[in-house]
Amino acid sequence: MEWEETAGVVGSKTGRLEDRPLKAKPFNKASFAIQMTLAALAGLTVYGFATFDYKDVNIVEGIISTAETVKTMFLEPRIQHFTFGEALKQITVTLGLAFLTTLFGAIMALFLGLLAARNLSSKTASVVIRGFVAFIRAVPTVLWVLIFAVAAGLGSVAAVVGMTFHSMGYLIKAYSESFEELDKGVIEALKASGANWWQIVFQAVIPSSITYIVSWTFLRFEINFAVAVAMGAAAGAGGIGFDMFMASSFYYDLREVGVITYFILAFAIALEIVASRLKKKLRANT
């Protein structure tokens, strides 16, 4: 009886949770800054569209022309300047470029990522590697390829080296942050039991981070596949990207560009399916 009365008093004073009015966050400097930033961006967007030099181009006609181009590319595809077998060969070359650059970059990034992790390395080594990696990521992949092309010449060699360099910088950051997610208590327990650095890495760090490593590696593989397509045209690396460059710029055959786009899309979807299944298996095993 006493409990019911107490509950009734508490219920009458506090009320049910769904009956309480929701309180909005108070107005502060942070919310004011966010609102002003959004308002400024919206104003700049409107001003940009209003003052843009359209060169006497009719927007409606431009939209119609774009729709016709997309229709020609994707609804009327055809192969004229190469065969289906040649297309498969070129897409295999592009996949090979992406695979090699991802493999080389991942191997180097795995070791350097361990040294860049704050919980596994000294503060000095971590700062130096992170600063070096930040510089690598700040330079676009195309520029790295062109830098190495000065020594190796335009071609697949410069493309592989430049893409590997940028992939390494990308994966070092991803791997090191994954390694830092490991509980410090596990590392301290292994050290107390007499385990050395390599034993800690292979018995605790790598097993606990394997799903993250696979996820980041496959993500970079997909990025490298897209970059390899671009490098086929920009750096003369060959592959399906060079055929797309020839079809779009030399022959100006939109139907052939559509066929190449379908090839690239099909292989990109296949890579995503393989990556998803592999991650599921690894999660099931762990």
DSSP string, 155-192: THHHHHHHHHHHHHHHHHHHHHHHHTTS-HHHHHHHHH
Alpha carbon 63 to chain centroid, angstroms: 30
**Cα(73)–Cα(69) distance, integer angstroms:** 6
Q: Which residues of the chain have pLDDT under 70?
A: 1-27, 235-236, 284-286
Residue 96 located in a structural domain: yes
| Per-residue buried b or exposed e for 92-109, using 16+ beta carbons within 10 Å of the residue's own CB | ebbbebbebbbebbbebb
Residue 88 located in a structural domain: yes
**Cα(192)–Cα(184) distance, integer angstroms:** 12
**Cα(82)–Cα(75) distance, integer angstroms:** 19
State how far the alpha carbon of 194 is from the alpha carbons of 39, 110, 189, in Å. 59, 24, 9
Where on the phi/psi map is residue 112: left (φ > 0), alpha (ψ -120 to 50), or beta?
Answer: alpha
Q: What pLDDT score does 200 carry?
A: 86
**Cα(279)–Cα(273) distance, integer angstroms:** 10
- Domains: count for the chain: 1
Q: What pLDDT score does 27 carry?
A: 65
Q: What pLDDT score does 12 carry?
A: 46
0.75 surpassed by pTM: no
Residue 233 located in a structural domain: yes
Q: What pLDDT score does 150 carry?
A: 79
> Do residues 257 and 246 lie in contact, with contact meaning Cβ atoms separated by under 8 Å?
no
> Do residues 84 and 240 lie in contact, with contact meaning Cβ atoms separated by under 8 Å?
no
**Cα(79)–Cα(88) distance, integer angstroms:** 12
Range of the domain at 113: 82-285
Q: What pLDDT score does 13 carry?
A: 45
Residue 76 located in a structural domain: no
Residue 1 located in a structural domain: no
56 φ/ψ angles, rounded to the nearest 5 degrees: 60, 30
Residue 61 located in a structural domain: no
Residue 49 located in a structural domain: no
Q: Where are the beta strands (DSSP E) in the chain?
A: none
CATH number reported for the structural domain that contains residue 184 in this entry: 1.10.3720.10
Residue 60 located in a structural domain: no
